[in-house]
Structures are given as structure tokens and as C-alpha cells.
């Protein structure tokens, strides 16, 4: 045996002894790793869903507002994660044999034990399963939320989509991390990871329904438009993750997400978020006017959308019973927001098709 191999084996001996104390030690390490992640997801789910928060408070018997822990918990987890990474890098013994054999730094990256990772995933699956059951019962099933939380269904369902979106992003990062650093991709590991991804799809469905109910009640904004796009982006990514895990091609997942992001960016330019939002809000105002006979229309927000909203705003003025003074004020605000009154935009270098179209429509 070569001296370099003997030296490397000698340095690894204490670590090998720690790894050899039995599978229950690995399970215990997995539980320790899972605790902060479980607390993070419990906090996010509690902030998003009043029924889940009610059950979590009963189970844990904490006289605290779980939603207030989100920020502090996330900061603590990030700091702990970075500190653990630095300490792990410093404590990791050198591997001169691997370096001499020409292995890359990525090939020599530290790997997580499969038992630890499966334990973490099992704990997270239990939390997600509890949330999914409550969603199927109350949000999708229509059970009495007033008795469970003191909130009517409309109040219960029109909240929490931001927190659920954060849950999906954390799961996406977790999937990429586990696929990159797990030591052995066993059947139990893949089943646990796919189960977590599939339940994340239910979380995204819950976020989608909550967002749609909120939009139906209060209309569209650019923020809500991009939240909806993020939900769809994550849902497609979850389907891609399941496929790549089953095919043992998870290394292509990040490439697929980047390509999907480029497709979404192109779609945003084709759709035109401001035009789409103005169109949806005008149509919503028309339907409500026809149904209730009263006009409810956020003309201030419409006027802030800029030049892309001008054609839809003009169409709305022709159909909506707006007072002439209100219409004139909106047109003036649209012209200002579009930069039509800015002399610097008259130069050929500042030419913009949307602005020129708005200028023509407004008779400028």
C-alpha cells in the first residue's frame, strides 16, 4: 500500500470510528439536523394557515405567536448553516491521495450520510403530511373554519400565499442540496424525497387557490402577478424534479430550472405584465358593475402602471361609467407615469415602442 494511502487512512481513522458506532447514531444525528428545519416549516405553515397554527399551538402548548418567529428562525438557521459549513470545512481532514490523483474539488466534496438524510426527510414529510391533510379538510374540503379558528372561510383562505411560496422555495433548495451531497441514493431516500416534492405540489396548489381568492376580492397587482408566475414556475420545477430523481438524472435539474427561467422571462416580455394587469382589472370592474350596479375600480393603481396600460385604460373609459374628471385625471397620471411629459424621452436614443404607442393613443 502506498504511503499516501496509509497516511490518509490514518487521518480518517477517528472519523471512521465515529461513523461505525451504529445506525442509531446516524438517526440521532439526522434528528438533530431535522429539528431546525421542522421548526422553520412549522413556523411558515402556522403563519400561512390558521387551522395549522391552532393545532400546532395545541400540540406544542407554546404561549407564543408562531408567525412572529419566522424572521428570527430564518436568520438563526442561516447563521447556523454558515457556521456549521465553515467549521465542517476546517475540521475536515485533508485528502492528499485524492489531490494527487487529480480529482476535482467538487468530486472531493463532503457527503452526507444516507441514514441522516432519510431521517431528515422523514421528519419533514410528517410535517408536510399534517399540513396536506388539514388543507384537504378545510381549504379544499370546505369544513367549518369558523369553529376551528374563529375565521370565516373567506378570511381564512385569502391569506398565507407568501408564506407557502417561501415553503416551496426552501424545499427547492433542500432538494438541490440533498441531491448534491447525499452519499448513497437508496430507494428509501428517493421515495422520501419524491414524497416531499409531491406534497410540495399540494402546498403550491393551496397557495394558488389562496392567491386566486385574494385576486378575486381585491384585483390584480404586479406583485400578485409575479407571485402567481413563481407558483407556476415552482410547480413545473417540482414535476421536473420528480422526473429527474426517478431517472437518476438530478444533475440536470438546475440546468432545466435555468432554461425554464429563460422561457418565463421571454413570456413576460410577450405578455406585458402591466398591460395584462390593466386588462384584468378593467374586465373585473366591468363584471362587477354589470352584476351589482355599483362601480368599484382602483383608478389610482391603474394610473401608476405606465405606458403599457394606456390601451386597456382607454378601453375601460369607453365602457366604465367613470366621471369625466376622473378619466382626465387618470389620463394625465398615465402620461406622467409613461414619461410622455419628460423632454429627455423625445430623443431618438430613448425611443420605446410602448411609449410611442401610448403617445399616439393619448393624442400626444
d(CA 39, CA 178): 19
- Backbone phi, psi, residue 112, to 5°: -85, 145
Q: What is the pLDDT of residues 158-196, one digit of tens each?
A: 888 999 999 999 999 999 889 888 888 889 999 999 999
Number of Cβ atoms within 10 Å of the Cβ of 38: 16
Lowest mean pLDDT among 110-114, 230-234, 307-311: 110-114
- Mean pLDDT rounded to a whole number for the chain: 78
Of 271, 330, 319, 320, nearest in space to 296 by CA: 320
Of 288, 229, 309, nearest in space to 261 by CA: 229
CA 184 to chain centre: 28
- Confidence check: pLDDT of 100 > 70: no
pLDDT at 16: 47
Greatest extent of the chain over all pairs of C-alpha atoms, in Å: 92
- Confidence check: pLDDT of 103 > 90: no
Of 165, 133, 170, 142, nearest in space to 52 by CA: 133
Lowest mean pLDDT among 27-36, 61-70, 139-148: 61-70
Specify burial of residue 25 (Cβ count, 10 A radius: 0-12, 13-18, 19+).
middle
d(CA 191, CA 323): 61
Number of Cβ atoms within 10 Å of the Cβ of 278: 26
Can you give the pTM of this predicted structure? 0.74
Lowest mean pLDDT among 27-41, 142-156, 320-334: 320-334
Q: Who's near 159: CB < 8 A, 6+ residues apart?
A: 48, 50, 210, 214
d(CA 282, CA 300): 13
Q: What is the pLDDT of residues 250-273, one digit of tens each?
A: 888 889 999 999 999 999 988 888
On the CB side of 182, CA atoms within 13 Å amount to 27
Amino acid at each position: 500500500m502506498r504511503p499516501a494511502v496509509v497516511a490518509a487512512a490514518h487521518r480518517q481513522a477517528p472519523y471512521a470510528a465515529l461513523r461505525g458506532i451504529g445506525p442509531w447514531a446516524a438517526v440521532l444525528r439526522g434528528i438533530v439536523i431535522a429539528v431546525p428545519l421542522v421548526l422553520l416549516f412549522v413556523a411558515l405553515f402556522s403563519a400561512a394557515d390558521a387551522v395549522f397554527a391552532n393545532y400546532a399551538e395545541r400540540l406544542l402548548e407554546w404561549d407564543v405567536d408562531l408567525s412572529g418567529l419566522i424572521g428570527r428562525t430564518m436568520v438563526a438557521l442561516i447563521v447556523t448553516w454558515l457556521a456549521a459549513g465553515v467549521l465542517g470545512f476546517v475540521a475536515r481532514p485533508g485528502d492528499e491521495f485524492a489531490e494527487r490523483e487529480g480529482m476535482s474539488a467538487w468530486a472531493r466534496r463532503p457527503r452526507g450520510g444516507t441514514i441522516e438524510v432519510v431521517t431528515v426527510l422523514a421528519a419533514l414529510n410528517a410535517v408536510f403530511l399534517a399540513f396536506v391533510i388539514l388543507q384537504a379538510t378545510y381549504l379544499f374540503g370546505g369544513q367549518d373554519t369558523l369553529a376551528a379558528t374563529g375565521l370565516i372561510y373567506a378570511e381564512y383562505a385569502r391569506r398565507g400565499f407568501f408564506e407557502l411560496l417561501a415553503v416551496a422555495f426552501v424545499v427547492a433548495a433542500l432538494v438541490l442540496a440533498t441531491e448534491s451531497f447525499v452519499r448513497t441514493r437508496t430507494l428509501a431516500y428517493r421515495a422520501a424525497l419524491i414524497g416531499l416534492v409531491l406534497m410540495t405540489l399540494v402546498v403550491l396548489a393551496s397557495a394558488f387557490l389562496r392567491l386566486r381568492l385574494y385576486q378575486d376580492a381585491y384585483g390584480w397587482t404586479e406583485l400578485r402577478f409575479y407571485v402567481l408566475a413563481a407558483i407556476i414556475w415552482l410547480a413545473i420545477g417540482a414535476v421536473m424534479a420528480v422526473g429527474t430523481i426517478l431517472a437518476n438524472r438530478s444533475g440536470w435539474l438546475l440546468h432545466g430550472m435555468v432554461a425554464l427561467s429563460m422561457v418565463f422571462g421571454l413570456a413576460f416580455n410577450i405578455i406585458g405584465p402591466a398591460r395584462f394587469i390593466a386588462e384584468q382589472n378593467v374586465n373585473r370592474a366591468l363584471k362587477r358593475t354589470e352584476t351589482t350596479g355599483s362601480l368599484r375600480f382602483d383608478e389610482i393603481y391603474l394610473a401608476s402602471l405606465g405606458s403599457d396600460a394606456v390601451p386597456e385604460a382607454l378601453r375601460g373609459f369607453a365602457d366604465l361609467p367613470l366621471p369625466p374628471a376622473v378619466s382626465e385625471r387618470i389620463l394625465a397620471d398615465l402620461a406622467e407615469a409613461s414619461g410622455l411629459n419628460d423632454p429627455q424621452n423625445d430623443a431618438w436614443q430613448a425611443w420605446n415602442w410602448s411609449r410611442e404607442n401610448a403617445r399616439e393613443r393619448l393624442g400626444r
